[in-house]
């Protein structure tokens, strides 16, 4: 991104319920897990991540989005891999 | 919801999503429960309030003693082997966040001093005079110049002191309202402290949120400039409404006495640092370029001599002092107390030494609070009760960052302590590092310069108290009492307001999925 572009990025009112694109891959922090699946909040959008166990909590993981309901702002996806740590623990 | 269709037989239990806060026990246990691990920090906060607010002693060394006593007393509440308690302090103190900030302060401190000694503020005064700025406009113009200066040098404390020393008497002399002028200087310091890539708080906010400094600066511009435009209008309007003091006109020459246009050459030194940092260069490299350019300008334009930049003051009996006395960086001194190294580089570094030690100890104590579980108690409570959705989470981040910074005098230290907490709440809702860093630093910069016990106000007030001795016409009654300036620090109050509105409306909000922060390893 250009220098000027960085300054003008984000001059907008961003929704609290962002949409995700089905079939895309996103990197998100997992907030909670029930043992077999994880849950990530992107704003108030909820994404259930199948295969994201307790080990993934507060880690950034890559998720392949398999379904997304824009009206309910919720979706499901498959765990691909862990891609990052929380800055909290550093 | 249909979250767990393929879960095992015990569907009720499988529906139960559990967050990270219950995972793993604290490594240090305390008599009286997890909350007691906050004792060292809590003791320090009480000490800081008593010392700086009630007794008006803005001494960083005293705060170091406060945190040390807190850490020692806190140890007696720890269960089991006290070695774990001690090791946790070390674990906190050796975090990269601390040393990164300290290295940057030392570099920035040298750079700032070179600019000050190179007559940069004098150059700005000259410009204000040449442009014919009157009493009513003076606070507004001072706000802009203080903002530019602080953005260049990165230390709001330093520029508060410099501007109170130069702009404050000049403005009072011209008939500007002293309280408004003081507020304008503090507002400028907030602007720069918040936006400058070389500012200690900018660096801490970026590092604690895993974000690159250039990206953080660029992304926070929108909040800072909205607040600043309104603040500027506020100073213009208030400047026209609030009158100044009656000062004898005979001393107006002081205004230009120390002001020369050539100091403005350091705009280039500033731009070099800003440009390099925003372009993503390592902060040490960016400021080093600024230092080199500032030294060259100081020497070439005669703004400062080599001896002003670094000077060895040796005793008479030193073995190699007499033969080398002709060197421009060596002076032989008779008075034993005068022996030492002086000059811009030395005094620039010296200003940050005590703060560095204090910050190391505070994050050692913060680590006790994290490993002992008090932070978890606070987090669990606010995540469950306050941060229930992304809007409330952002409001919680604004509120807690503002509260902690309003309490702890040295805003960088407060930011280091609250940084991980902002990170945890923000990551839960996948807010990206830029947004988290901006929420954190907006409150940190603002609250560091508003209250009578804030570090910036204390430093500036100290400088103001020297003015009656510096100028014959400056009377004791012209000094502004710190409590009076609180409502007039427009940039501070507006910055907090902008972030509250941004949290409510989603202005500037970015998620991890919108944009990843760039590689932080450059820092």
In a domain, A50, yes or no: yes
A26 touching B (Cβ < 8 Å): yes
The span from the CA of B373 to the CA of B29, in Å, is 8
pLDDT at A9: 84
**Cα of A62 to nearest chain B Cα, Å:** 11
Close Cβ partners of B415 (under 8 Å, ≥ 6 residues apart): B201, B204, B205, B208, B401, B405, B440, B441, B444
The span from the CA of B243 to the CA of B250, in Å, is 20
Interior CA angle at B99 toward B98 and B100, to 5°? 95
pLDDT at B461: 83
- pLDDT tens-digit map of B333-358: 999 999 999 998 998 788 678 878 88
Test A57 with B424 for CB contact under 8 angstroms: no
pLDDT at B151: 87
**Cα of B216 to nearest chain A Cα, Å:** 9
The span from the CA of B489 to the CA of B218, in Å, is 24
pLDDT band at residue B475 under the 50/70/90 scheme: confident
Tell me which DSSP letter residue A10 carries.
Answer: T
pLDDT in tens, chain A (90 residues): 677 788 888 899 999 999 999 999 999 999 999 999 999 999 999 999 999 999 999 999 999 999 999 999 999 999 999 998 887 764
**Cα of A54 to nearest chain B Cα, Å:** 8
In a domain, A10, yes or no: no
In a domain, A13, yes or no: no
Tell me the ipTM for this assembly.
0.96
pLDDT at B413: 76
| List of chain B residues whose C-beta atoms are within 8 Å of the C-beta of residue A87 | 208-210, 420, 423, 427, 433
Full domain range(s) for residue A59:
21-84
- Helix B213-241 with B490-505: angle, nearest 10 deg: 120
- pLDDT tens-digit map of B108-117: 778 878 887 8
Tokens of B473: 């016409």
The domain that contains A61 carries what CATH number?
2.40.50.140
In a domain, A61, yes or no: yes
Point out the least confidently predicted range of A65-69, B50-54, B61-65, B189-193: B50-54
The span from the CA of B439 to the CA of B189, in Å, is 18
At residue B510, does pLDDT exceed 90? yes
In a domain, A68, yes or no: yes
pLDDT at B522: 37
- pLDDT tens-digit map of B268-288: 987 887 777 667 677 788 889
In a domain, A40, yes or no: yes
The span from the CA of B271 to the CA of B226, in Å, is 22
By Cβ distance, the residue of B14, B423, B506 closest to A35 is B14
pLDDT band at residue B15 under the 50/70/90 scheme: low
In a domain, A2, yes or no: no
By Cβ distance, the residue of A18, A34, A58 closest to B427 is A58
pLDDT at B408: 66
Q: Which of residues 187-206 of B touch A (CB under 8 A)?
A: none
At residue B50, does pLDDT exceed 90? no
In a domain, A32, yes or no: yes
pLDDT at B100: 65
At residue B5, does pLDDT exceed 60? no
At residue B211, does pLDDT exceed 60? yes
How many domains, in total, are found in chain A? Answer: 1
Q: Which of residues 150-169 of B touch A (CB under 8 A)?
A: none
A40 touching B (Cβ < 8 Å): yes
The span from the CA of B154 to the CA of B139, in Å, is 21
Point out the least confidently predicted range of B255-259, B298-302, B312-316, B431-435: B255-259
pLDDT at B258: 60
The span from the CA of A42 to the CA of B68, in Å, is 41
Interior CA angle at A16 toward A10 and A22, to 5°? 90
pLDDT at B23: 42
Test B209 with A87 for CB contact under 8 angstroms: yes
pLDDT band at residue B24 under the 50/70/90 scheme: very low
């Amino acid at each position: 991104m250009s220098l000027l572009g960085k300054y003008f990025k984000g001059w907008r009112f961003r929704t609290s319920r962002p949409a995700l694109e089905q079939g895309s891959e996103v990197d998100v922090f997992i907030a909670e897990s029930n043992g077999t699946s994880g849950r990530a909040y992107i704003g108030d959008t909820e994404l259930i991540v199948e295969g994201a166990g307790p080990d993934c909590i507060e880690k950034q993981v890559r998720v392949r989005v398999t379904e997304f309901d824009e009206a309910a702002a919720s979706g499901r996806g498959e765990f691909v891999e862990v891609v990052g740590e929380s800055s909290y623990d550093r | 919801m249909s979250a767990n269709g393929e879960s095992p037989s015990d569907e009720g239990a499988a529906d139960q999503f559990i967050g990270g806060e219950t995972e793993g026990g604290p490594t240090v246990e305390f008599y009286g429960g997890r909350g007691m691990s906050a004792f060292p920090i809590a003791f320090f906060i009480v000490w800081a309030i008593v010392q700086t607010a009630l007794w008006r002693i803005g001494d960083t060394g005293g705060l170091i003693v406060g945190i040390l006593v807190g850490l020692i007393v806190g140890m007696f509440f720890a269960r089991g082997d006290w070695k774990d308690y001690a090791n946790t302090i070390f674990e906190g103190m050796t975090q990269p966040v601390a040393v990164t900030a300290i290295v940057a302060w030392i570099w920035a401190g040298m750079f700032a001093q070179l600019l000050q000694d190179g007559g940069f503020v004098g150059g700005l005064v000259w410009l204000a005079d040449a442009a014919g700025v009157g009493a009513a406009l003076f606070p507004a113009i001072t706000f802009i110049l203080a903002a530019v200066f602080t953005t260049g040098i990165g230390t709001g404390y330093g520029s508060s002191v410099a501007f109170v020393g130069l702009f404050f008497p000049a403005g009072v002399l011209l008939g500007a309202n002293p309280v408004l002028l003081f507020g304008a200087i503090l507002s400028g310091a907030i602007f720069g402290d918040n936006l400058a890539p070389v500012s200690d708080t900018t660096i801490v906010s970026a590092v604690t949120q895993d974000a690159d400094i250039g990206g953080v600066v660029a992304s926070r511009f929108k909040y800072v400039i909205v607040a600043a435009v309104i603040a500027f209008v506020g100073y213009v309007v208030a400047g026209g409404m609030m009158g100044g003091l009656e000062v004898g006109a005979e001393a107006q020459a002081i205004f230009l006495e120390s002001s020369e246009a050539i100091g403005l050459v350091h705009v280039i030194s500033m731009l070099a640092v800003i440009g390099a940092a925003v372009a993503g260069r390592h902060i040490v490299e960016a400021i080093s370029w600024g230092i080199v350019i500032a030294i060259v300008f100081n020497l070439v334009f005669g703004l400062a001599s080599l001896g002003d930049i670094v000077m060895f003051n040796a005793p008479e009996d030193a073995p190699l002092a007499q033969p080398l006395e002709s060197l421009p960086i060596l002076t032989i001194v008779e008075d034993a107390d005068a022996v030492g190294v002086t000059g811009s580089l030395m005094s620039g570094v010296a200003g940050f030494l005590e703060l560095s030690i204090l910050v190391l100890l505070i994050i050692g104590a913060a680590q006790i609070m994290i490993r002992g579980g008090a932070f978890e108690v606070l987090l669990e409570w606010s995540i469950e009760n306050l941060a229930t959705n992304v809007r409330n989470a952002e409001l919680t981040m604004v509120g807690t960052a503002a509260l902690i910074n309003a309490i702890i005098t040295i805003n960088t230290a407060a930011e280091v302590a609250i940084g991980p907490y902002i990170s945890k709440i923000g990551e839960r809702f996948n807010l990206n590092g830029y947004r988290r860093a901006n929420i954190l630093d907006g409150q940190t910069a603002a609250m560091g310069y508003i209250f009578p016990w804030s570090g910036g106000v204390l430093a500036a007030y100290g400088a103001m108290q020297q003015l009656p001795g510096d100028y014959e016409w400056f009377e004791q009654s012209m000094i502004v009492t710190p409590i009076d300036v609180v409502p007039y620090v427009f940039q501070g109050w507006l910055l907090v307001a902008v972030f509250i509105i941004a949290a409510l409306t989603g202005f500037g909000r970015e998620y991890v999925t919108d944009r990843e922060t760039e590689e932080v390893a450059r820092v």
